[in-house]
Structure 1
Amino acid sequence: MAALKFCANISWLFTELPEFTQRLQAAASAGFRAVEAAWLYDCDITKLVDAKTQAGLEVVLLNTPPGDMKAGDLGLGAVPGREQEFRKGLELAVQYAKALDCKRIHLMAGRVPVGADRSAVAMEMEATFVQNLKHAADVLSKEGMLGLIEPINTRITDPLYFLNSPHQAADILQKVSHSSVKLQMDVYHWQIMDGNLTQNIRKYFPLIGHVQIAQVPGRNEPDSAGELNFPYLFSLLEELGYQGYIGCEYKPLGTTIQMQHTRSTSQLTNTPSVR
């Protein structure tokens, strides 16, 4: 049984360091072999590549650009009328991913427009998302990359996010019907929206292309106080034969570096087979 592998999400961890290039080195110094990030598009590609190479890290995952966050955007994949912006964002994401040798891109769905009734726009948004995902699948398959869609909970994190449950995501993936787009499972969001993690993980495991973790409800370290039993969940993923990285996308209770002094990677995850 292969040991699980963990990567640091440097948009959430090591934020005491202002530059992503610094966080790459900090992640390597903390013992991580790989990292993921949300958006690196304000950073010079050459500097990122140099920092990644010097740190000896693999970059596992990037997100597509969010759009205009000041105007309320958080992804464009399912937003009607923004198809060309989504495609341009995908091009930029692929450019960064190729430079960093990153093989996974989270294709962000986006939010229900402010003031719109979710049920009234659901069909149009789904059709837009499916169309954009089919386009992305064609682009990414030619690059040897994998696209991912991630349900984000609407109870705590983002009430307007369009894609909010694994069931909805699985239905959309069935309509896209392409092996270059899979499901990104963040157990934090899944627990808040639906619970029933054991059965949902078993049911949707064939669709899962990436995993992320954080404790519920505080979205802190997996070994902090909360309702999720991570040793059990990790054992389940090992049993199912999960081969990819598990992204540490959580809010440290202290600074990341401070917490690293008191936790080794194995202590962080509380399972002996982690590497």
Structure 2
Amino acid sequence: MAPLKFCANISWLFTELPDFSHRIHAAASAGFQAVEAAWLYDSDLKELQRATAAAGVEVVLINTPPGDVKAGDLGLGAVPGREAEFRQGLLLAIEYAKALDCKRIHLMAGRIPVGSQRKAVVKEMEAIFVQNLTYAADILSKEGITGLIEPINTKITDPRYFLDCPHQAAVILDKVGQPNIKLQMDIFHWQIMDGNLTQNIIKYFPIIGHIQIAQVPGRNEPDSAGELNYTYLFNTLENYGYLGYIGCEYKPLGSTKEGLGWIKDYWTQQVMTR
């Protein structure tokens, strides 16, 4: 069994440092060989290129632009009437991904429009999402990039997010039917929405293109107090031969560096058993 590979989500980790370039170097110094981030678009692209090259780390995932955050946007992929903006944001994400040699882009679905009821708009939003994902699949395939869709829980984190469970995502992926559009499994969100993690990992393993982790319910370090046994979950992923990266998308209880004991223990164990 190959050991699991972890990347630091620098939108969540090393936030003690002022910008992404500094966080990239901090992640490398902590032992990470890869990083991911949500939105890098306010950062100078050439500076990000210099930082990743100097640190020797891979960028494995970025998100499409969220839209107008101040107006309540969190992605545009399934939002009615915003198709042109989604396509513009996709092109910007591809520009950054190509410059950073990043091979995965999270295609954010977005939120139920304010004033709308989920049941009333779900079919329309699904159709728009399928249309936008099909469009994205064609463009991304030409660049060798995988698109990802991520369910975000609507019980705690974001009550209005359109895509909220793996079962809904699997139906959408089946309708898109493109091999370069896959499922992003955030264990934190999956546990809150559905639980049954072992069976869901097994069921959806063939379409999982990326994984992220955090403890439940606090969204802190994997070894912090909470519902999830990450030793078991890591063993499960190893046993099923997961070879992709696992993004560390959690809120450190203290400083990022102080909370990395769990991953140092994992790395040490891998050295000792191999």
Q: TM-score range by the shorter chain?
A: over 0.9
Q: Any residues of structure 2 matched to 1:227-246 within 5 Å, and which?
A: 227-246=227-246
* CA distance in structure 1 between the partners assigned to 2:139 and 2:193 by the alignment: 31
Judge conservation of contact 1:112–1:118 (CA < 8 Å) in 2: yes
Seen in structure 2, the aligned counterparts of structure 1 residues 117 and 264 have a Cα distance that, compared at 3 Å, is closer
Partner SS, residue 269 of structure 2: coil
What is the one-letter code of the residue matched to 1:43? S
Match of 1:273 among 267, 270, 274: 270
Matched, 1:209 2:209: yes
Distance 2:252 2:202 in 1: 29
Q: Distance in 1 between matches of 2:161 and 2:259?
A: 31
Residue 178 of structure 2 is matched in structure 1 by 178
Cα distance, 1:259 vs structure 2: 2.9
Identity of matched residues, %:
73
Q: Is the 8 A contact 1:186 1:212 kept in 2?
A: yes
Query: After the TM superposition, which residues 126-205 of structure 1 pair with which residues of structure 2 at under 5 Å, given as runs?
Result: 126-205=126-205
Instruction: Report the TM-score when normalising by structure 1.
Output: 0.97
1:216 to 1:271, Cα distance in 2 relative to 1, 3 A? farther
Distance 1:240 1:259 in 2: 27
Paired with 2:269 and 2:153, the residues of 1 have a C-alpha distance of 30
Matches within 5 A, 1:1-275: 1-260=1-260, 263=261, 265-267=263-265, 272-273=269-270
What's the Cα RMSD here? 1.4
| CA-CA distance at 1:272 after TM superposition | 2.5
Q: SS of the counterpart of 2:246?
A: strand
Asked if the contact 1:37/1:62 (under 8 Å) is kept, the reply is yes
Amino acid at match of 1:273: Q
- C-alpha distance in 2 between matches for 1:88 and 1:222: 36
Gapped runs of 5+ residues in structure 1? none
Structure 2: distance between partners of 1:201 and 1:29: 32
SS of the residue aligned with 1:195? Answer: coil
**Structure 2: gaps spanning 5 or more residues:** none
Shift of 1:257: 2.7
What letter matches 1:265 in structure 2?
I
**For residues 176 and 92 of structure 2, what CA distance do their matches in structure 1 show?**
22
Q: Is the 8 A contact 1:231 1:271 kept in 2?
A: no
TM-score, structure 2 normalization: 0.97
> Deviations along 1:207-245, whole A, 9 cap, x unmatched?
000000000000000000000010110111011110000
Give distance in 1, aligned partners of 2:120 and 2:211.
Answer: 31
User: Is the contact between residue 231 and residue 270 of structure 1 (CA under 8 Å) also seen in structure 2?
Assistant: no
**Contact 1:223–1:270 (8 Å) recurs in 2:** no
CA distance in 2, matches of 1:253, 1:265: 15
